[in-house]
Amino acid sequence: MKYLFVILSLSLLFIAPFFGQIDISLSQINTLTSIDHKLFWDLRIPRVVVAFFTGGLLGLSGLVFQSLFRNPMSTPFTLGVASGATLGTAFAIVFSFIPFIALFGFFGALMTIVVLFTITAKLKAYETSSLLLVGIALSFFYSAALMILFYLSDQTQSYEIVRFTMGSLDVVGMRSVIPIVVASILLLLTTLKYKREIKLLLTSYDNAFLKGMDVQRVNTILLVSISMAIGVAVSITGPIGFVGLIIPHILKTIYKRSADQLLLLSFFYSGVFLVFCDLVARNLGTSSDVPIGVVTSFLGGPFFIYLLVRRKKQ
């Protein structure tokens, strides 16, 4: 059954670029002057690539966050990085810095990381619980600041901000997806490098410390790495919820393994899940694509509840 999942997932990744609101002619894909060529290579392929790597980044981040915070409800956006990126993007929209939206979004995420660790350093409280509380406080502050920007914006700007908060995978050309691909691969390599440390942290911090691990250093490296990667992703795609929450739990239910053994699986299947959600969003027959964040929640929520009920019965 597990091999069947892999085969189906790979098949989905292969066929995803061929389906969308506009039908393309397979014979025209490699004709440089054709519309089908531009549609396929400049829009469809980059969109599938950014969906896969964004999904993988979110799922992997969620899995590690749930392990570090020892909280099954932790998501990649727990520390307020997504809120900071959203605020930065909204600022760019309201004050007409449209060409630099992604840059402002990443700057908002980066400032969140700086403020987060500066405050915890001042408090001399490096525990994950302190980081979590500061992150929640920052999220509330950013929400209030976002409401002010909504008040200052006109109708068109408000619509753009709302669309951004729902998530979007609209990209043009492979150059625009390079930051997400690089951030995703670097995060995957970082988590694999600290696979043993993650396993120790799953038992207890005291046990990890007794094993000779610098708990504070490892926590900081993993949290900063994840936050930076999330900042890159959110600045380009907007916040896409539920992926980092649901996929790690589904994999734990199916594979019955600890988090340190699910790093690659979480990255792969989270990417496949977001590609599938995007495929659904692009083929509903609506006048425009349904926001990807709506689709992930709509599809993932019921299935997640089903798994929880099934596990309870077992």
- Give me the mean pLDDT over the 288-300 stretch: 83
pLDDT band at 271 (very low <50, low <70, confident <90, very high): very high
Do residues 65 and 132 lie in contact, with contact meaning Cβ atoms separated by under 8 Å? no
C-alpha count within 13 angstroms, C-beta hemisphere, residue 269: 24
Residue 76 per-residue DSSP state:
T
pLDDT band at 48 (very low <50, low <70, confident <90, very high): very high
Can you give the pLDDT at residue 226? 92
Can you give the pLDDT at residue 298? 85
Can you give the pLDDT at residue 127? 67
> Is residue 140 pLDDT above 80, yes or no?
yes
- How far is it, in rounded angstroms, from Cα 245 to Cα 239? 13
Give the distance from CA 244 to its chain's centroid.
Answer: 6
Domains and CATH numbers, the chain: 2-313 (1.10.3470.10)
> Is residue 69 pLDDT above 60, yes or no?
yes
- How far is it, in rounded angstroms, from Cα 161 to Cα 150? 8
Share above pLDDT 70 across residues of the chain, in percent, rounded to a whole number: 94
Instruction: Please state the φ and ψ torsions of residue 60, each to the nearest 5 degrees.
Output: -65, -40
Q: Give me the chain's average pLDDT, please.
A: 87
C-alpha count within 13 angstroms, C-beta hemisphere, residue 20: 19
Looking at 30-34, 53-57, 299-303, which range is the least confident one?
A: 299-303
Provide the angle, in degrees to the nearest 10, between the axes of the packed helices 45-68 and 243-255: 70
Looking at 84-98, 121-135, 261-275, which range is the least confident one?
A: 121-135
> Is residue 30 pLDDT above 90, yes or no?
no
Return the top range by mean pLDDT from 1-10, 48-57, 191-200, 289-298: 48-57
- Give me the mean pLDDT over the 304-314 stretch: 68
> Among candidates 58, 96, 43, 63, which has minimal Cα distance to 238?
58
> Is residue 24 pLDDT above 70, yes or no?
yes
pTM of the predicted protein model: 0.91
- How far is it, in rounded angstroms, from Cα 185 to Cα 56? 9
Structure tokens at 303: 């299935």
Q: What is the pLDDT of residues 224-253, one digit of tens each?
A: 899 899 999 999 999 998 899 889 988 988
Q: Which amino acid, 282? A: R
Can you give the pLDDT at residue 306? 74
- Give me the mean pLDDT over the 205-218 stretch: 81
Can you give the pLDDT at residue 273? 94
> Among candidates 108, 103, 114, 119, which has minimal Cα distance to 149?
108
Burial of residue 251, with CB atoms counted within 10 A of its CB: 0-12 exposed, 13-18 middle, 19 or more buried: buried
- Give me the mean pLDDT over the 84-97 stretch: 92
Angle CA 271–276–278, to nearest 5: 95
Structure tokens at 299: 């599809």
- How far is it, in rounded angstroms, from Cα 74 to Cα 61? 10
Can you give the pLDDT at residue 303? 73
Angle CA 239–278–176, to nearest 5: 65
Share above pLDDT 90 across residues of the chain, in percent, rounded to a whole number: 44
> Among candidates 80, 76, 79, 102, which has minimal Cα distance to 91?
102
pLDDT band at 268 (very low <50, low <70, confident <90, very high): very high
> Is residue 195 pLDDT above 80, yes or no?
yes
Q: Which amino acid, 236? A: I
Can you give the pLDDT at residue 307? 64
> Is residue 204 pLDDT above 80, yes or no?
no
- How far is it, in rounded angstroms, from Cα 294 to Cα 288? 13
pLDDT band at 95 (very low <50, low <70, confident <90, very high): very high
Can you give the pLDDT at residue 287? 66
> Is residue 126 pLDDT above 60, yes or no?
no
- How far is it, in rounded angstroms, from Cα 268 to Cα 274? 10
The full DSSP string for 104-116 is HHHHHHHHHHHHH
